[in-house]
C-alpha cells in the first residue's frame, strides 16, 4: 500500500455525504501513517491515479458511479486494488429489485414487492395491501422514498422516485422497529456481524435529514433485543452478504415487527460502501466492539484487492 487514494465525492445524489465520509477516512489513514490523499472522480479522470503512483483505492463513494460497479470495473482495468465488493456484487447490491430477487432464491426474508412499471396502481394495492413503501431501485440515503397510505398517493410517489431512477420498487411497508447490522470481513476470511444497532427516528422517519444532519435520531447499540434475535439478524445479514457475492465490508438494513408473534426480521437492502461520517452506523457498531474509527478504516483498507487478479489475461497463444 505504497500510495492510497481515497475516492470521494463523485457524481451521485449522495455526493455531499461521500465527501464527508472520504474526509473522515483520509484523516484516519494519515493519522495511521498511510501515504493517502483525496481523489474526486467528478473532478479528475481515474486515469490520473496511475500518474499519482496509486496502488490502492479506498472507495468512500456512495451511490451511482461509485457503489454500483462502475468505479470497481475501472479500477480492475487500471490494476489498482480497491476496498469493498467487486463489480458484479456492487452492481447487484445497488439494485434493490435484483437484490430482493436474489435474496428470495436463498430464502432470505424481505418485504413483498412489485416493480412499479409492471402493473397498475390498483393492482399494486391489491397485491401488496396498504401502507406501501415506494423507492427508486438504484438510489440510497432514502432519496426518492415515500410512504403512502392510499392508492391516490401512488402516482405522485412513483413520479418522485422516477426522478432518481427509471426502475421503481413498491413494497409492503413493514410497521415495526428499524435496525442495521454492520459486517466486516478479515482478508480472505469469513464475514462477521457486529452488534446490532436499533435506529429510533422522530416519528419513525429516518430520512436524509435525520440520517446525516439532525440530532433527533437516537441509536441503541447494542439494540435492546434478545440475544437470539440479535444472532438471527446477524446470521441473516451474513447470508445476504454471501448471496450477493460481497466482500470486505457492508451494512444491512432491517425492519422487524416485534408486535406480531413469530414475525421474522425483514431485510431491506445491503450497502456495499456505507457512510463513514460522524453520524454513520458502521463506525458506531465498530466502537461497541472495541474497534475505534482509525483502526476500523485501516482494517477495511487491509481487505483491498483486485477481484479479477486470479484470472489470467488471455495472450495471443490462447487463440493459436
Q: Which residues are catalytically annotated?
A: 14, 141, 212, 251, 253, 269, 271, 275
CB 95 within 8 A of CB 122: no
In the numeric block, which cell numbers belong to residue 178?
Answer: 428499524
Long-range CB contacts (< 8 A, 24+ apart) of 148-154? 151/121, 151/122, 151/124, 151/125, 154/121, 154/124, 154/125
The arrangement of strands across the sheet holding 81-82 comes to: 36-39, 4-7, 56-59, 81-82
CB 78 within 8 A of CB 55: no
In the numeric block, which cell numbers belong to residue 12?
Answer: 451521485
Residue whose C-alpha is closest to residue 93's, from 269, 233, 267, 248: 269
Main-chain dihedrals φ then ψ at residue 256, nearest 5 degrees: -145, 125
Amino acid at each position: 500500500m505504497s500510495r492510497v487514494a481515497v475516492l470521494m465525492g463523485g457524481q451521485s445524489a449522495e455526493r455531499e455525504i461521500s465527501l464527508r465520509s472520504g474526509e473522515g477516512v483520509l484523516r484516519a489513514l494519515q493519522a495511521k501513517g498511510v501515504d493517502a490523499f483525496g481523489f474526486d472522480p467528478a473532478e479528475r479522470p481515474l486515469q490520473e491515479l496511475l500518474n499519482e503512483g496509486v496502488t490502492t483505492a479506498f472507495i468512500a463513494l456512495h451511490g451511482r458511479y461509485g457503489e454500483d460497479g462502475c468505479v470497481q470495473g475501472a479500477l480492475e482495468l487500471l490494476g489498482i486494488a480497491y476496498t469493498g465488493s467487486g463489480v458484479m456484487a456492487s452492481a447487484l447490491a445497488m439494485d434493490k429489485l435484483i437484490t430482493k430477487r436474489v435474496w428470495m432464491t436463498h430464502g432470505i426474508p424481505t418485504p413483498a414487492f412489485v416493480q412499479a412499471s409492471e402493473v397498475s396502481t390498483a393492482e399494486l394495492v391489491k397485491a401488496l395491501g396498504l401502507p406501501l413503501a415506494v423507492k427508486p431501485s438504484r438510489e440510497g440515503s432514502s432519496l426518492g422514498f415515500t410512504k403512502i397510505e392510499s392508492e391516490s398517493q401512488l402516482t405522485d410517489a412513483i413520479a418522485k422516485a422516477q426522478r432518481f431512477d427509471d426502475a421503481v420498487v413498491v413494497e409492503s411497508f413493514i410497521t415495526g422497529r428499524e435496525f442495521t447490522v454492520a459486517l466486516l470481513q478479515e482478508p480472505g476470511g469469513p464475514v462477521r456481524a457486529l452488534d446490532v444497532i436499533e435506529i429510533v427516528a422522530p416519528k419513525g422517519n429516518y430520512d436524509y435529514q435525520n440520517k446525516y444532519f439532525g440530532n433527533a435520531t437516537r441509536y441503541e447499540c447494542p439494540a435492546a433485543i434478545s440475544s437470539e434475535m440479535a444472532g438471527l439478524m446477524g446470521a441473516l445479514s451474513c447470508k445476504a452478504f454471501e448471496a450477493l457475492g460481497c466482500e470486505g465490508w457492508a451494512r444491512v438494513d432491517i425492519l422487524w415487527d416485534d408486535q406480531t408473534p413469530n414475525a421474522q426480521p425483514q431485510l431491506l437492502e445491503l450497502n456495499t460502501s456505507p457512510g463513514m461520517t460522524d453520524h454513520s452506523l458502521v463506525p458506531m457498531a465498530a466502537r461497541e466492539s472495541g474497534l475505534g474509527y482509525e483502526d476500523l478504516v485501516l482494517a477495511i483498507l487491509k481487505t483491498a484487492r483486485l477481484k479479477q487478479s486470479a484470472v489470467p489475461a488471455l495472450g495471443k497463444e490462447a487463440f493459436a
